[in-house]
Amino acid sequence: MQDSQLTKEEIAQLTEADWRERLTDSEYFVLREKGTERPFTGIHNDMSEQGIYRCKGCGAKLFDSNNKFDAGCGWPSFDATIEESAIDEHLDTSHGMRRVEVTCSNCGGHLGHVFPDGPRETTGLRYCINSVAIDLEPKA
């Protein structure tokens, strides 16, 4: 995990070569090439430790562990972001589907998708996130 959050100015100066140097191959594939990790393979899928999930690319705060739930889909799932401005949403029509992609609003890194099938007692949303796109900052 990055020690601190990169600023928009620092991000704007990063080239794709810089991103390749900063990220592992799997992180680059997901965050920069909009890839998807295989279900049930990510380290955060079954993790129950408390803390804040940050973007693996830039360190921005994205999700609180209090909003994490087991959706049984094979990827970490959250019913809300840490704050509304933490992510951006985009229509994704790739692979013959119509979905809503979510990206880090700070660096633009692909995180996953959001679906309207989350817990009804909360937001009703399920942010389905690739483990390699996030890092947990444990609570002290």
Catalytic machinery residues:
128
- 50 neighbors 65 (Cβ within 8 angstroms): yes
- Rg of the Cα trace of the chain? 14
Is 73 marked as binding a ligand? no
* 104 labelled binding-site residue: yes
CA distance 73 to 28: 22
Q: Which of 70, 72, 68, 107 is nearest to 86 (CA)?
A: 107
- Where would I find the H helices in the chain? 8-12, 16-22, 25-31
Q: What angle do CA 22, 27, 29 make, to 5 degrees?
A: 110
Q: Rounded distance, CA 134 to CA 132, Å?
A: 6
Binding site residues for Zn(2+), as ranges?
55, 58, 104, 107
For the annotated binding site, the residues are 55, 58, 104, 107
